[in-house]
Structure 1
Amino acid sequence: MGGLAAAHAGTCSKAVDRTRTCSPWLIPCSRAGNSERALADITSAPLRKTSLYENHVKLGARMVPFTGFSMPVQYSGVTEEHKAVRTACGLFDVSHMGELEMRGVYAGQVVNYLVTNDIGKLEDGHAIYTCCCNPEGTILDDLIVYRATKDRYMIVCNASNHDKIAAVFAAAAKEHCEFVDRTDETALIALQGPNAMRVLDKAGDVRHVLALPAFGFADARILNVDVTIARTGYTGEDGVEIFCPWDDAPRVWEGLMQLGQEHGIKPCGLAARDTLRLECKMALYGNDIDETTNPLEAGLAWTVKFDKGDFVGREVLMNVKEHGVRRKLVGFEMTGRGIARHGYPIKSAKGEVIGAVTSGSPSPTLGKNIGLGYVPVGNDAIGTPILVDCRGKDVEAVIVKTPFYKRAK
């Protein structure tokens, strides 16, 4: 989320207890904990497990360290899982994501100051994608902000950024509103693909959910579990993300897997999630965006609303807007034999290094090798030939229109 603040150390206490049960976040709950952030690689800290860990193991998933969790990278294979989401439906465990709540009379004003998009225009039961920047105008995280009521908001952030985002929202809340970290009590399951809503329809009375627009959300009861369902995702397909109590997630997962058999459902891992989002040019924090990039050069200018009033980073971003960006995030296809990977140098057709690859992979849908990367303005036009230095070998590529894939409406 997928989805999701200046860091202020010491504002959030740590908790690692995953035994608690609680109602979904739209239903008030008195207990809350904070997620323990870890790095995306193996560290000395033991890997944490989502409540679906045993389900993944039983399904034969290959488990890998990811943001401090042991997460499924794939089950039957990346290509098969990817194509299932494009043609049928797939089920993802994204319980490593962070869920933060801001509530109180001034909660909306505080959240709106911390993000670039205008949540002041949100209605109850609607969400919005946004960036969260530091005073220098670079991206601390990309988030989804959900408005439950005018006095209650949920922020979903990336797992790797949980601590710094939780810290800034907690610090900003202070006397103005209440901050609650719901990460440790909330599981998140994504059901994505053209058949996703057919599967969901069999899980309970969700007629009101089926009628929701993109980024709409509502409470529901499926498989005898109270959940919150949002019409959001990180795949470019129709589908939902289901917030449910931590301990109830296995029941929801198993029920959806069973109901989805006739609709071609497949359990899907992080690798397929990555290729799906790449085809749609959905930014991945840590690769395509980070604290060295700003929303305007990352193609996220549409998330920056200068007319809403002041927000963190506004002055710097306004200056960037007035003077223009120096580089842009572009998409490219490899025309030569090679796969672009994160960090590979991008060169001009003459061989001069002009940028770097941020994301790259074979595209199961297109049957081509694709990638994203930053290049200087003037080298960003569609059709511009470039070279990608793949481990010392210059491979030909061309800048193309993005997204690489867009589903038919």
Structure 2
Amino acid sequence: MPESVSDAVARVGSPVDLLRNAQARPTIFPVTPEFTNWRSEQLSWRTSVALLDQSHHMTDLFISGPDALKLLSDTGVNSFANFEVDRAKQFVAVNHEGYLIGDAILFHLAEDSFDLVGWFMVLDWVQYLGETGDYDVTFERDANSLMREPGVPPKLFRYELQGPHALAVMEKLTGAPVPQTRFFHMATFTIDGLEVRSLRHGMAGQPGFELFGPWDEGERVRSAIVSAGEEFGLVLVGAKAYSSANLESAWVPSPLPAIFTGEGMADYLAWLPAARAGSLAGSFVSDDIEDYYLTPYDLGYGRSVAFDHDFIGRAALEKHAEAPRRAKVTLVWNPDDVATAQRSLYEPGTPAKYIDFPKARYGVYQVDRVLADGRDVGISHDAGYITGEQVFVSLASVDAEHAEPGTEVVVVWGEDPNSRKPAVEPHRQVEVRATVYPAPYSSFARENYRKN
């Protein structure tokens, strides 16, 4: 039997030690890293049209049965009133104490049939509750291509078509005007004689479509998209550029899930395989795992919280809603300080932690200290470079009094002491000055992400 998270924590001694020194290899998207170069590929979703392959790096949890909606309503902070077939939402779940477990995209595919898509953190929680609770539901799990059995293809293809020319490409593909579809609503199209479902949403504020269907039809659909997109400057986007797209939309992909303490978590950790515990990186260090927990408000998910139904953690979350909150912001790193850290690689002595481009995260859960006047005022979650803005940024949660645009803060980069993760080389910590900006950073993305 595979080792559980509970067994792994007992073996190592604490959740923090387990995660900080996890021996999992660095996370990669199992698709082509670059078709041209990640800088041009980043620009494509702003200037022309980008085609991104999402088929391999996300997990699908298919949930069906007469109690499927009840399970989701019992575990999600979202409102499920008027959540009809052919709609989707960003599903957010918290623990009994109101701290964030994670988020994913929930598709309402058919009556009593749903697909929860994303990182495994919140999917595991929902599946555990469904399997151990009094619910008439069934699950089909399609793990991402790194976790799936070798030689077994995904159940679905999933392609992202994004950019100012995305609508024109879709109209050429389908041979008809694309009907008006609201944000996070679904429609069905015919592409090269095949029925393809589509989710309407955007990335970095640009119009976009997420197209999905049976895996064995994926190559035919992809070929049709590439052919139709040629006259509109369609660009194939690889894993490097795609991994950085969240920096423009200001989505934090993998906050540490609040699963290691609290009501009911002992049984959950005994159920959860240790291989899905994740890894923890960054300059913030505490022996208390609860110091890493976040509320949905810390990441800007307050708009998703609806106290119109009972759900796990509701009473605690109502108290969090009344307490002082942190705000999600973009931190623009000082270019001189970034250059100094990079230059240390070419100088005598121990260098700074390597800053990778376009994404600099070196653990599943990246947690770096944010300082003001020498004291901790927040955490930086995810860092990387935005070609279209020519800035190096991170997404952060900071105390409200330090969230005003223009505020100067400091990001502490690197670990002290160095952990034993494979992605961590001998290095020293450095301080990087940063300036607070809104999230998303791009004014176009802020004003148009949902409008489009």
Aligned partner of 1:232 among 201, 213, 221: 201
Q: What code does the residue aligned with 1:145 have?
A: L
Answer yes or no: is 1:302 the counterpart of 2:303: yes
Aligned partner of 1:71 among 16, 31, 39: 31
Determine helix, strand or coil for the equivalent of 2:303.
Answer: helix
Structure 1, 385-394 or 169-178: larger mean CA deviation: 169-178
Aligned partner of 2:371 among 325, 347, 354: 347
Aligned partner of 2:165 among 170, 177, 195: 195
- TM-score of the pair, normalised by structure 2: 0.68
Which residue pairs with 1:145 in the alignment? 106
Q: What code does the residue aligned with 1:397 have?
A: A
Which residue pairs with 1:54 in the alignment? none
Identify the structure with bigger relative contact order (alpha carbons < 8 Å, sequence gap 6+): 2
Q: CA offsets, 1:63-116, max 9 Å, x none? A: x953xx633332211210011111111111111322233333433222111211
Answer yes or no: is 1:321 the counterpart of 2:291: no
Aligned residues: 344
Which residue pairs with 2:68 in the alignment? 107
Displacement after TM superposition at 1:320 (Å): 0.8
Structure 1 residues 162 and 331: CA distance shift in structure 2, 3 A: closer
Q: CA offsets, 1:151-198, max 9 Å, x none? A: 33322232x437614623642675423433356411211111111121
Q: Give the distance between the partners of 2:301 and 2:88, measured in 1 at CA.
A: 17
Which residue pairs with 1:382 in the alignment? 405
Q: CA offsets, 1:323-358, max 9 Å, x none? A: 233x3332222244244855443221x333443321
Determine helix, strand or coil for the equivalent of 1:197.
Answer: helix
Structure 1 residues 143 and 376: CA distance shift in structure 2, 3 A: same
Aligned partner of 1:276 among 227, 245, 248: 245
- TM-score of the pair, normalised by structure 1: 0.75
Query: What does 1:31-46 align with in structure 2 at a 5 Å threshold?
Result: none
Q: What code does the residue aligned with 2:311 have?
A: F
Which residue pairs with 1:254 in the alignment? 223
Please say if residues 129 and 142 of structure 1, whose CA atoms lie closer than 8 Å, have aligned partners that are also in contact.
yes
Q: Give the distance between the partners of 1:116 and 1:246, measured in 2 at CA.
A: 32
Q: Give the distance between the partners of 2:129 and 2:31, measured in 1 at CA.
A: 27
Please say if residues 106 and 116 of structure 2, whose CA atoms lie closer than 8 Å, have aligned partners that are also in contact.
yes
Structure 1 residues 300 and 65: CA distance shift in structure 2, 3 A: closer
CA RMSD of aligned residues (A): 2.9
Answer yes or no: is 1:128 the counterpart of 2:127: no
Which residue pairs with 1:36 in the alignment? none
Structure 1 residues 173 and 78: CA distance shift in structure 2, 3 A: farther
Structure 1 residues 395 and 154: CA distance shift in structure 2, 3 A: closer
Higher helix proportion (structure 1 or 2): 2
Q: CA offsets, 1:123-164, max 9 Å, x none? A: 332211121222232222212222234533322232x43761
Displacement after TM superposition at 1:217 (Å): 0.7
Q: What code does the residue aligned with 2:50 have?
A: G
The percentage of counterpart residues that share the same residue type is: 22
Q: Give the distance between the partners of 2:129 and 2:203, measured in 1 at CA.
A: 24
User: What stretches of structure 1 of length at least 5 have no aligned partner?
Assistant: 1-6, 10-40, 45-63
Q: What code does the residue aligned with 1:124 have?
A: V
User: What stretches of structure 2 of length at least 5 have no aligned partner?
Assistant: 7-21, 144-153, 259-292, 339-354, 362-366, 415-428
Q: CA offsets, 1:260-282, max 9 Å, x none? A: 11111111123322333212212
Q: CA offsets, 1:286-324, max 9 Å, x none? A: 4xx643222011111111111x21112212211111223
Determine helix, strand or coil for the equivalent of 1:73.
Answer: coil
Q: Give the distance between the partners of 1:318 and 1:172, measured in 2 at CA.
A: 26
Q: What code does the residue aligned with 1:86 have?
A: R
Displacement after TM superposition at 1:245 (Å): 1.0
Structure 1 residues 353 and 173: CA distance shift in structure 2, 3 A: closer
Displacement after TM superposition at 1:386 (Å): 0.9
Determine helix, strand or coil for the equivalent of 1:75.
Answer: coil
Q: What code does the residue aligned with 2:102 have?
A: D
Q: Give the distance between the partners of 1:210 and 1:333, measured in 2 at CA.
A: 39
Q: Give the distance between the partners of 1:229 and 1:261, measured in 2 at CA.
A: 21
Structure 1 residues 172 and 332: CA distance shift in structure 2, 3 A: same
Q: Give the distance between the partners of 2:123 and 2:63, measured in 1 at CA.
A: 15
Please say if residues 103 and 122 of structure 2, whose CA atoms lie closer than 8 Å, have aligned partners that are also in contact.
no
Which residue pairs with 2:174 in the alignment? 204
Structure 1 residues 268 and 198: CA distance shift in structure 2, 3 A: same
Query: What does 1:280-295 align with in structure 2 at a 5 Å threshold?
Result: 280-286=249-255, 290-291=257-258, 292-295=293-296
Structure 1 residues 70 and 162: CA distance shift in structure 2, 3 A: farther
